[in-house]
Amino acid sequence: MTSKELDIAFKEAVEKINEHQEPFPADFLLRLYAYYKKATNDYSQPSRGSKPLITAFKTNALFQIQNITEDEAKQTYIDLVNTYFLYRK
């Protein structure tokens, strides 16, 4: 897959997630969060909201994927989304 094709597939996967109306499992959302942040080169720390435990989980998720490339993160995000919706039918 070329870089341009990967970008298009990634954007389509993000749109699919954003358009979905039903709630997602928390562990799935956490994985999507981490891969999305890595894929979009967003290295900002999770917001320090009113729930420090959630912030800790997000920080840990980002830490676990720190050694992959942006393209690997995009591909993994796409794979997660495709697998999720494959088994939802």
Domain boundaries, the chain: 3-14+34-86
Q: Is the dihedral of CA 13, 87, 35, 47 positive or negative?
A: positive
Judge if pTM exceeds 0.85: yes
pLDDT one-digit tens code per residue, 34-53? 999 999 988 776 666 668 88
Instruction: Tell me the residue type at 72.
Output: E
**Which residue, chain included where needed, has tokens 């997602």?**
24
- Reported as a pLDDT band with limits 50, 70 and 90, residue 55 is confident
**Which residue, chain included where needed, has tokens 């979905």?**
20
